[in-house]
Amino acid sequence: MAILCWVLIIVSFVVSFVGLVYPIIPSVLFVALGFVIYGLFYDFSSYSWLFWVVQGLLVVALFLADYIANIIGVKKFGGTKAGVWGSTVGLLVGPFVIPGFGIILGPFIGAIVGELIVHRTTISNAVKIGVGSVIGFFSGAISKGFIQLLMIAYFLYAVLK
């Protein structure tokens, strides 16, 4: 039974990392699922109040990292809120419309379209903003991956000590 528990926990953690490149998968929920699986198979007493506070702060950091990286990526390249919104919509829609490359092309095209429609910017400037959105996406994914590793490491410390 212990093997089944740890297999399920590992699978949930792996799926959480898949969510870094497929944002339709809620990464943080799969990390939390791993915590719940452990609690159901063993017990929740391994989780102190400090554990939940730290994990809660890391969840907030996950959301902030994603949001801030996208904004910085777009704004650093001259974009506006329209570019940020376009990039976000493209990030969610792109993988479904263009399987495989949609994760990169979605935010790129979304930022371009957002800037062209709302601010009627030049094509060259809109493309530059699109590049910034892709850089922001990858920066956010790397940051979120690091934060998820911290969450998992702290979980392992809490339950294996």
For the chain, the straight-line distance linking the first and the last C-alpha, in angstroms and rounded, comes to 20
Q: What is the CA radius of gyration of the chain?
A: 18
What is the torsion angle, in degrees rounded to the nearest 10, for the CA atoms of residue 77, residue 82, residue 84 and residue 85? -160
Band (pLDDT 50/70/90 cuts) for residue 81 is confident
From residue 22, give the alpha-carbon distance in Å to each of 6, 8, 32, 131.
24, 20, 18, 19
Find the mean pLDDT for residues 43-55.
92
- Predicted pLDDT at 22: 77
**CB-count burial class (<10 Å; 0-12, 13-18, 19+) for 92:** middle
Find the mean pLDDT for residues 81-107.
80
**Residue in this structure with the two tokens 């990039």, named with its chain if needed:** 87
Distance (Å, whole) CA 51 – CA 55: 6
> What are the pLDDT digits (tens) for 112-157?
888 888 777 778 778 878 888 888 888 888 999 999 999 999 999 9
Mean pLDDT, rounded, of the chain: 86
Distance (Å, whole) CA 27 – CA 141: 11
Angle (nearest 5°) at CA 111 between 106 and 114: 120
